[in-house]
Amino acid sequence: MALPSSTVSLIANATSSVLATQSTPAQGSLDSAGAGITGGYTGNSLSLRIIIAFLIGLALYNAIELIVLILVTFQKYHGTYFWSLVVAGFGVMPYSLGFLIKFFQLLDPGKNVCYVAVVLLTVGWWMMVTGQSVVLWSRLHLVTNSRRVLRYTLYMIIVDAVILHVPTTVLTFGSNSNSLSYDALGRFVHGYNIMEKIQMVGFFLQELIISVIYIKETLRLLKLSQSVQDDITSVTDGGAVGEGQVRKTMYQLIAINAIIIAMDIALLAVEFANLYLIETTLKGAVYSIKLKLEFAVLGKLVQIVHTKSHNSNGHGSDERRGTATGLSLEKSDSEGSGRVRSARAQAWPDFVDPRRVSCDVTHAEASIGGVDRGWDEDGEGEKRKRRYRAHRRSWIDEEMDKHNIG
């Protein structure tokens, strides 16, 4: 028995409407957060609008606060670390404002003026993401002196910036074009969906590698506690920072890198859940928080290294030599006989009476009559070497001056 044509058409229409409902989420549902690649958000979900506005507002607030802190804290406005912080911090603002204009359709998406939002969010994205990686790279100079690690890490940042930023930028403009056909626009959107995930994974791995290098180097310094105390963060008598504070700062740095990795994983999860609206606005907030955390903790590390530098270039070297022998030597007469006026009794063995020490036991006596002048000349050479080592700047000080760290 054949069905009437009107009945067949009615069933077909009902079936097609059901399939459309199943394949396309309602605009007011959370699944509609996956839209927004082309144009803005056209749904009626108040909660989603509030989430978008909150994340954008949080990112802008953190960025403005960070810029103010940078300008107030730094005494000299130059160096890799300073400019990477400034670029990354400023990048959050156009990135967030671009998505604010795009998603809330503050400019007509059907006209060429809509490209203003695309330009803002693209430029801000370049500055924010790559600037963040350069900030991480600049921080490595404080914990490692491996030129190879520093060099290849910088190469990785440059290569990733080219191969990940450029294709994504092209696909972003193509996906928001007003002059393409429907099929061409669909191909751009499909390509963008794939490239967006690739670049997210690529930048995640980049920051993961840098954070793992940093955590590994910091743990190595913590294991060498005596070396950390003497060569990296030690403060001699009268210092303001103790070993306990140093270890606390090191653990904070490790925790910050672990938090960075956790936030990147969360951001990656939102991206693979195809929640485009939430992922793009959350990214600005996440990067602003990461920059503030790094800026705060890095300031403590710079303070520790500066304190160490100040003490080691001052009286630290002579004091360590005196402490090693347990003596405080003074000349007793004009002939310079080198008699001991005071001694730290606790540094002498039990069988030695410091009151009977009548000469400088830390140096051999020079020969009379110039027979052994070579010994005296060697002694002067050794003194010059000691003075050179006392005033020689460490690799940490050189790198900090080179990149204006602190």
Residue recorded with tokens 């350069």? 134
Note whether 137 and 240 are same-domain residues: yes
CA distance 223 to 231: 13
Q: Half-sphere exposure of 405 toward its Cβ, with a 13 Å CA cutoff?
A: 29
- Percent of the chain topping pLDDT 70: 60
Asked if residue 334 and residue 300 are part of one domain, the reply reads no
Q: In whole numbers, what is the pLDDT of the chain averaged over residues?
A: 75
Number of domains the chain is built from: 2
173 and 144 both lie in a single domain: yes
Q: How far apart are CA 164 and CA 113, in angstroms?
A: 26
Q: Which domain holds residue 392?
A: 316-364+373-399
Domain holding 92: CATH number? 1.20.1070
Residue 287 CA to residue 134 CA, distance in Å, equals 13
Q: Give the integer Cα–Cα distance in Å for 273 and 292.
A: 27
pLDDT at 131: 95
Same domain, yes or no, for 254 and 378?
no
Segment of 29-38, 314-323, 344-353 carrying the highest mean pLDDT? 29-38
- Return the half-sphere exposure (C-beta side, CA atoms, 13 A cut-off) of residue 77: 8
> Per the domain annotation, does 21 fall within a domain?
no
Please report whether residue 86 resides in a domain: yes
| pLDDT over threshold 60, residue 226 | no
Domain co-membership, 208 together with 338: no
> DSSP class of residue 369?
G
Q: Beta strand 342-343 with 327-328: parallel, antiparallel or unpaired?
A: antiparallel
Please tell me the distance from the alpha carbon of residue 356 to that of residue 206, in angstroms, as a whole number: 66
Assigned domain for 405 exists:
no
Residues β-bridged to residue 364: none
Residue 266, Cβ neighbours under 10 Å: how many? 12
Residue with tokens 């963060």: 233
In a domain, 8, yes or no: no
Q: Are residues 168 and 196 in the same domain?
A: yes
Residue 214 DSSP SS3:
helix
Query: What percentage of the chain exceeds 90 in pLDDT?
Result: 39
Same domain membership, residue 344 and residue 283: no
Q: Are residues 129 and 246 in the same domain?
A: yes
Is the residue at 16 inside a domain?
A: no
At residue 200, the pLDDT reads 95
* 339 and 192 assigned to the same domain: no
Quick one: 283 and 306 in the same domain? yes
Q: How is residue 158 annotated by DSSP?
A: H
289 and 150, same domain (yes or no): yes
> Radius of gyration of the chain from Cα atoms?
32
Nearest CA to 88 out of 49, 132, 46, 44 is that of: 132
CA atoms in the 13 A half-sphere facing the CB of 363: 18
Note whether 130 and 161 are within 8 A (CB): yes
Residue that is written with structure tokens 């003194």 in the block: 383
The answer on 265 and 149 residing in a single domain is yes
Residue 318: count of CB within 10 angstroms of its CB: 12
Query: What is the structure's pLDDT at 272?
Result: 93
Phi, psi of 328 (to 5 degrees): -130, 100
Question: Looking at residue 174, what is its pLDDT?
Answer: 92
**When comparing pLDDT for 191 and 371, which is higher?**
191
Neighbours of 240 (CB within 10 A): 9
